[in-house]
């Protein structure tokens, strides 16, 4: 199993590759959180060794506060970093769809 560091900003679709995005924009997600990345990694069977939700990627220091996505994780996965990041981004999309579906259903029931 490989162990590697994951900055949450590496999955953010709002950032360019210059500022650290590692996955293609069509795979990346908008404003991911450290908790979402952790949940996605755990649901994929990866091991989260370390989590620091307030840590800022040094590449983002010159950007506006709106684009500064904080979070750092150390993950152990059986895949390489790029493949694991793509899998995590896709899982975050899937988890967001599930929670969106639950929210819309609960709103319909209240009426």
10-residue stretch averages of pLDDT, the chain, 111 residues long: 93 94 95 95 96 92 90 95 96 92 62 52
For the entire predicted model, the pTM comes to: 0.87
Cα–Cα distance measured from residue 24 to residue 50, given in angstroms and rounded to the nearest whole number: 25
71: phi > 0 → left, psi -120 to 50 → alpha, else beta; which? left
Largest CA distance in the chain: 50
CATH superfamily of 2-110: Signal recognition particle, SRP19-like subunit (3.30.56.30)
Contact between 93 and 16 (Cβ < 8 Å): no
* Neighbouring-strand partners of residue 72: 7, 52
How high is the pLDDT of residue 52?
A: 95
């Amino acid at each position: 199993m490989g162990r590697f560091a994951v900055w949450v900003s590496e999955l953010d679709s709002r950032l360019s590759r210059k500022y650290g995005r590692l996955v293609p924009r069509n795979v990346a997600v908008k404003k991911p959180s450290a908790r979402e990345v952790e949940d996605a990694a755990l649901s994929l069977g990866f091991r989260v060794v370390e989590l620091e939700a307030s840590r800022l990627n040094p590449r983002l220091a010159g950007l506006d506060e709106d684009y500064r996505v904080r979070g750092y994780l150390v993950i152990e996965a059986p895949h390489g970093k790029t493949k694991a990041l793509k899998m995590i981004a896709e899982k975050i999309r899937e988890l967001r769809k599930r929670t969106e579906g639950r929210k819309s259903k609960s709103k319909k029931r209240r009426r």
